[in-house]
Structure 1
Amino acid sequence: MILFDLKCENDHVFEAWFKDNAAFKDQSEKGIVLCPNCSSKKVKKALMAPNVSLANSEKKQASTSELAKAQKFISEAQKAIENNFDYVGKDFASEARKIHYGESDKKNIYGEASETDAKSLKEEGVAFATIPWKTKEDA
C-alpha cells in the first residue's frame, strides 16, 4: 500500500491509500477518485516529501498496524452500510432529492453519483457524504 498526497482542481489537498501507482492511475482514469471536500474527479498527485525515517522496526510495525486498523474500519463501515442501507445504484442523486424534499419516505440509501450530481446535491442542501469504497477486488 502507498499513501499519496492528492490535489483536486479546486486546490483541495488530501491523502489516499492505493495498492500501488498503477491502482491510483486506473482508479483516476475511471473517475472513482473523488476530492472529499468538493467531490471533484479531477485529481492529481500533489508534491510530497518522502518519508525516509522508518529505519527502526517499531515505527514500521506501528505504521503497518495503523494501516491495518484503518483498512479494518473501512471494511466494517462498508459492511454496515451494505447491511443497513438500501442500494440505489446510479439513481442515488434522484433518490436523495426525493427523500430530501419529502417525496419519498426517509430511509438510509447508498449508491453512486456523478461529480455534477454531487455538486448539485450539495448546493441544494441535500445531506450526503462521499466515503472510500473498497471494490470486491480490494476486499
Structure 2
Amino acid sequence: MIRYSLRCAQAHDFESWFQSAQAYETLRGAGHVTCAVCGSAEVDKVLMAPAVRPSRAASAAPAPTLSTPQSEKEQALAALRAQVEANSEYVGMNFAAEARAMHDGIAPERAIYGEARPEDARKLIEDGVPVAPLPFLPRRKAN
C-alpha cells in the first residue's frame, strides 16, 4: 500500500491510499481518482515528506509517562485531586443519594465526592443542592 498527497485543479488537498504506484496511475487514467471536496477528476500528486522511523537512539530516549503531570495545568489538577482525595470521602455511585440526604438533614454533613448519572446531577442542581463537577475522573476509572 502507498499513500499519496493529492491536489485537484481547484487546489483542494487530500490524501488517498493505493495498492501500488501502477494502481494509482491506472485509476487516475480511468477518472476514478477524484477530489474528496469538489469531485474534480483533475488530480495530481503533490510533494510529500516520507515517513521515516526515528533512530534507535531517539527511540531509546525516555518517553513522558501519562501518570506524571507535564504542564503547570496538569500539576494544578494533580494537586486538586490530591486535596480532594485527602479531605473528602469517596461515595461512588451513591453520590446523588448522599448529597441529597445531607441537604435534607437526614445524614451528617461531610465532604464527599463520587459519581452521578447526568440526570441525577441535573436534578440535584435544580433542587438547590450545592454540588459541582470535578475536572477529573475517580482513580478507579482512570487508565
TM-score, normalising length: structure 1: 0.48
Larger helix fraction of residues:
1
Task: Please identify the structure whose Cα radius of gyration is greater.
Answer: 2
